[in-house]
Structure 1
């Protein structure tokens, strides 16, 4: 498994408190995969500074192998996340996204791309070339995790999205992504459209659960009631768990049954529910996902809301 995309430091502001945590959507996916015991390599852009070292230590502790070409920046990028009273995060970015050229990419069976790195030049063109150069037998997943303030002209961004989605075998959107990329389109229709571009289309809708489509199949995954600390990394955790389950169970995106699709979605929903129950992007380990859930989900609590990927 190779994940390619940005890693940065989340500077999280909640009320009067400010903390720093490693983050970035592709980095969170790499972490989530490694915590589920999926061998994962990561191609990113880091500076040789304190923040870069902390990100490397955070990923390395989970077993992620950072490719040496990743140490290419003078300063590690940051994202300022302001947490609202409902736990939702609003972001502002100071990011530089570029990769050295050429990059020696190891032979892998699957490539995951997404978020800012798929849209922000000059690195976005390098990501697109990386996708185009993957061997035909390798599968590709794509989660755009759209940040409108960073990705430039909306029509150009949508055009790039559709180019990448056409090569991907698994495409995941949040409901916010769908509103940007498929304005005015019903959720069911978005999931089906994603599946038409690739093998599996996934749409996460927070408290409304998620939709997975493949071929002629459309499956709704019920949300899992959870006390939400914040939503940082929820969608990334969903993505990582979905990929892990597909790869370990041997389900090919282009030949998956409705029951297998539901199995994958329910596994991913459990991972996202655990992630939103604690602060920051902290995806679950394999042992946490298989442990009894008693005590995690407090359905009767008046402060309870449901959590699934964003």
Structure 2
């Protein structure tokens, strides 16, 4: 079955990686296109899901980089807004384990300036799922506009949210204050264990799942890096191991996991409603596939999700 369209809404971020310079007292930056929602849209398209990205793309040098990268990945940008504001920049350093540490330059940038008029004309009749999250849901003035768009989309499309908490830019209590409302809207809530620690400190993953189910989320998936993932479908739970890989860095791994999860559900005709027909076995298969997608992303530098052909080659190599 061919997957139906997934519409992704959110930011693009220029990920500038610090590198040694050739001269003393200089710093070299290698810039790659990133941003959680943009990474998810690119990963979906590369996996073969028709992916439309609702973004506000600056016409500066970074905005042109985003557009080129997304179009090359097969993402539909027909509803992207050409924005007058500058692009968002994140300077990224990697620790000894390849984990990314970010510093953001995001004041008054293009990503947060959504208006109701910019989203009013978006046709969702072909969309099975709307995915959003990260800073687009909490940065004003656009956050309220994004929430209203989700509320409009919810009766006809599966809603997927990734909070992707960024405490350097927005205080965790801002996310906490809105999370219950997001769960009312969301059918899928995917977050990392770092997000969990910031959103519900000193709360076990299992207890957190129960809290978010009670607030309305049907499927909760908590990714835990090398420990794999915990998935909870209406309170039924399973654990999925991570796929072993040589880690170059973890940038974009969570976004790729989300894309793999949604792609697999969509390819099996399980998106487009409240996930009432989804069973725990469906979730297990989708999470196993998502773990493969995330592992391949970790095996290369930066937010560079795999293409479907790479997954096919991996399955062939494993004898599947």
Deviates more, 1:55-64 or 1:104-113: 104-113
Instruction: Evaluate the alpha carbon distance shift between residue 295 and residue 79 of structure 1 in structure 2; reply closer, same or farther with a 3 A threshold.
Output: farther
C-alpha separation in 2, matches of 1:54 and 1:155: 33
CA contact (8 A) 2:10 2:37 kept: yes
C-alpha separation in 1, matches of 2:285 and 2:186: 21
- In angstroms, what is the RMSD of aligned CA positions? 1.8
Q: CA deviation at 1:250?
A: 1.7
Partner SS for 1:263? helix
What are structure 2's unaligned runs of at least 5 residues? Answer: 1-5, 22-27
CA contact (8 A) 2:115 2:142 kept: no
Q: Deviations over 1:157-190 (max 9, x none)?
A: 2121221122100001100000011111112222
Instruction: Evaluate the alpha carbon distance shift between residue 14 and residue 205 of structure 1 in structure 2; reply closer, same or farther with a 3 A threshold.
Output: farther
Q: 1:105 aligns with which of 122, 146, 171?
A: 122
Partner SS for 2:284? helix
Q: 1:18 aligns with which of 21, 29, 52?
A: 29
Q: Which residue of 1 aligns with 2:288?
A: 266
Question: What number of residue pairs does the alignment pair up?
Answer: 295
Q: CA deviation at 1:216?
A: 3.5
Q: CA deviation at 1:294?
A: 8.4
Report 1:172-251 matches (<5 A). Answer: 172-196=190-214, 197-251=216-270
Whether 2:296 is the aligned partner of 1:279: answer no
Q: CA deviation at 1:156?
A: 3.1
Q: Deviations over 1:132-179 (max 9, x none)?
A: 111513110000100012123x33321212211221000011000000
Q: CA deviation at 1:293?
A: 5.8
C-alpha separation in 1, matches of 2:130 and 2:147: 12
Instruction: Evaluate the alpha carbon distance shift between residue 235 and residue 251 of structure 1 in structure 2; reply closer, same or farther with a 3 A threshold.
Output: same
Whether 2:185 is the aligned partner of 1:167: answer yes
C-alpha separation in 1, matches of 2:187 and 2:142: 22
Deviates more, 1:96-105 or 1:49-58: 96-105
Partner SS for 1:270? helix
Instruction: Evaluate the alpha carbon distance shift between residue 68 and residue 216 of structure 1 in structure 2; reply closer, same or farther with a 3 A threshold.
Output: closer
Q: Which residue of 2 aligns with 1:305?
A: none
Instruction: Evaluate the alpha carbon distance shift between residue 43 and residue 294 of structure 1 in structure 2; reply closer, same or farther with a 3 A threshold.
Output: same
